[in-house]
Structure 1
Amino acid sequence: MIFIVVKFQVKPEWTDRWLDLVGPFTQATRAEPGNKWFDWSRSVDDPNEFVLVEAFEDDAAGPHVNSDHFKKATQEEMPQALVSTPKIISHTIDADDWSAMGEITIN
C-alpha cells in the first residue's frame, strides 16, 4: 500500500473555505479505483494547517496523479489558497488497512 501524508499551509483568508475548495477533488479521488482512504484533518496547533492522510493500492497512485481532477486541483485551484508548497511523506508500506493499536485495549 502507498501511504501518504501531506501538510498544507493555507492562507488565513482561505482557511474557512479550504474544505469547500478541495471538496470536488476529495470526492473524485475517493471514487478512484484503488483509493483506500482520503481524509482531511485540521491541526489543533495551527488553524491554517490542514493535513491530508491518504492511501492507495500499490498500483493506483500513478493513475491518481495523472487524473484530470488531480491536475486541476494541484495546478489550478489549490495554489491560490496556499502560503507555501505542501510538505509530503509518501512511502510504500507492508499493510493493506489500519491495524489495531496494541497499547490501548477497549473491552
Structure 2
Amino acid sequence: MILIVLRAQIRPDKRAEWLSGISEYKSNVNSEPGNISFDYHENLEKENEFVIVEVFRDGKAGEEHVNTDHAQKFFPFMSTVVSAKPEINFQNVDGDAWSEMAEVTPQ
C-alpha cells in the first residue's frame, strides 16, 4: 500500500480556483481502480494551507495514477495556485497499515 500526504499553501487570490480544481481532481482520483482513498482538508489554524491524503493499493497503482490524464493536467494547474513548493510524505507500507487505536474504546 502507498500512503502519500501532501501539504500545500495556496495563494489567497487563487483559493476559489484551487477549491474547484481539487474537488474535480478528487472525483477523478477516487474513480481510479487502484485508489483506496483520496481526501483533502484545510488546516483550521493556517489559512489556505491544505493537506491531501492519498492511499493507493500498491506501487503499480501509484505509478498508474501519476500517468493518468487528470494527474498530468492537475500537476501543472497546482503549480499556478501554490505560493510555495508543496511538501510530501511518501510511505510504501507492507500489507494493510490500519490497526485499532489502543488509547480509545467506544463506551
TM over 0.5: yes
Q: State the Cα deviation string for residues 15-44 of structure 1 (Å, max 9, x = none).
A: 344221212211110000110100101112
For residues 11 and 36 of structure 1, what CA distance do their matches in structure 2 show? 29
For residues 67 and 16 of structure 2, what CA distance do their matches in structure 1 show? 28
Deviation at 1:4, TM superposition (A): 0.5
For residues 54 and 60 of structure 1, what CA distance do their matches in structure 2 show? 11
User: Which residue of the partner structure matches residue 40 of structure 1?
Assistant: 40
Task: Specify every segment of 5 or more residues in structure 1 that has no aligned partner in the other structure, as ranges.
Answer: none
Q: State the Cα deviation string for residues 71-101 of structure 1 (Å, max 9, x = none).
A: 10102x2111110111000011134363321
Could you tell me whether the CA contact under 8 Å between 1:9 and 1:82 is conserved in 2?
yes
Q: Residue 49 of structure 1 aligns to which amino acid in structure 2?
A: E
For residues 19 and 97 of structure 1, what CA distance do their matches in structure 2 show? 29
User: Which residue of the partner structure matches residue 10 of structure 1?
Assistant: 10
Cα root mean square deviation, aligned: 1.4
Percent identity between matched residues is 37
TM-score (norm 1): 0.90
Q: Residue 32 of structure 1 aligns to which amino acid in structure 2?
A: E
Could you tell me whether the CA contact under 8 Å between 1:41 and 1:50 is conserved in 2?
yes
Cα separation, partners in 2 of 1:97 and 1:19, compared to 1, 3 Å:
farther
Q: Residue 25 of structure 1 aligns to which amino acid in structure 2?
A: Y
Matches within 5 A, 1:70-85: 70-75=71-76, 77-85=77-85
> Counterpart of 1:60 in 2: which secondary structure?
helix
Could you tell me whether the CA contact under 8 Å between 1:7 and 1:86 is conserved in 2?
yes
Cα separation, partners in 2 of 1:16 and 1:101, compared to 1, 3 Å:
farther
TM-score (norm 2): 0.90
